[in-house]
Structure 1
């Protein structure tokens, strides 16, 4: 680079690397999954509903852009977010997109309709009710994500096990359900199962990642 114009072009080229790597919905979904906990490529592929080969290719692009790191443990390659700045950036991008894109707002509204009524009181009240046994906070994420971070007093029943473990939930106590975040569909699926069995079920819009961030502030 011999002059200021070339330097300026290089600056924008490097900035565009981040925009380019994020311009793929499956890469964004993979990053969203890694917000929960570090995971092997096979698990990420399964949860994103893509092949291991395709997941590996996407993760390679994310690693080149320094958004994720990886390490080998035996035969597995484990991926994690590169730093605490990555989830902050993703949340800012999500909030900005939701503010600007009516189509995104519409899709979120449709998801909210599938979930039904959401919990409306403040989180302090929710935790007090859960502590007193007046409300069940149900985490329907996989167990490894629950172990990494979860709401106080939450009960873990992964969505895949919910139908077989309904007997663990008192029928006369309302259930507030949460999963990975605003784009997670497991809450809607869990609420449908619970309502079919006569439970009072509400969606909790705040997720475990949000809770952890609030405690850090």
Structure 2
């Protein structure tokens, strides 16, 4: 019986995982569950896929140990299997940019033209939070905010700016964040508030990266 070299076993497993990741819908689903545990129905709503199609993609990710499922009543909820998967997603996004001049041009035209200012790093924001020298805004949907958010962050999903304007300081910097580097909600929030004269910048990455780095988070999730 021919023995398989351990190196080849590793490469075979890497290929299996790569095939599981080789679908844009699954990558989107991984980003969504990186924000916290979500039901199949909610994930279908967020992606615009059918519930059956969403479930099939999640099952493929589960078979490859990329997500973990948990039944809660009649519904199944999914979360990332480990923070290492978030690192893989970050590396893929960097590689995608580096390997495609067209993608770099699109990102420059679309995202960076929305906000030319240098974003705030996690370490910088952490220091500012410790000093009480910053107001933080969470631009994600309310249910994601409830699952976990940066300490003291105010929930400001799309079209709700007016409700929190009286809470925003004019003499202190504001930092907005969303799901990750390419989440457009934080860009829109920054653009709107900057047009109103507020001193606001974006967080360099998003909630999942903040949590994976070991920084404190708050949770207001209901049972």
Q: TM-score, normalised by structure 1?
A: 0.80
> Secondary structure, in 3 states, of the residue corresponding to 1:203?
strand
With 116-125 and 68-77 compared, the bigger mean Cα shift is at 116-125
Shift of 1:28: 0.4
Q: In structure 2, do the counterparts of structure 1 residues 117 and 71 end up closer, same or farther at CA, with 3 Å as the change threshold?
A: same
Count of aligned pairs between the two proteins:
212
* Within-5 A mapping of 1:8-157: 12-109=11-108, 110-119=110-119, 122-124=124-126, 126-127=128-129, 131-132=132-133, 135-157=134-156
RMSD, aligned CA: 3.0
Q: Single out whichever of 20-29 and 148-157 deviates more from structure 2.
A: 148-157
Higher relative contact order (CA 8 A, sep 6+): 2
Alignment partners' CA distance in 1, 2:5 and 2:120:
54
Structure 2, unaligned runs of 5 or more: 216-223
Distance change >3 Å, CA 63–CA 213, structure 1 → 2: closer
Take 2:168 and 2:76, find their aligned partners in 1: how far apart are those partners? 37
Judge which range, 103-112 or 20-29, deviates more: 103-112
Out of 166-175 and 187-196, give the one that drifted further.
166-175
Summarize the alignment of residues 158-169 of structure 1 with structure 2, pairs less than 5 Å apart: 158-169=157-168
Is the partner of 1:177 in helix, strand or coil?
strand
Shift of 1:44: 1.1
Which residue number in structure 1 is paired with residue 221 of structure 2?
none
> Which whole-Å CA distance do the structure 2 matches of 1:125 and 1:87 have between them?
24
| Mapped contact 1:68–1:80 kept (Cα < 8 A) | yes
Alpha carbons 2:83, 2:212 under 8 Å: kept: no
Residue 120 (structure 1) shift: 5.2
Partners of 1:4 and 1:18 in 2: how far apart? Answer: 22
Aligned residues of 1:163 and 1:193 also touching (Cα < 8 A): no
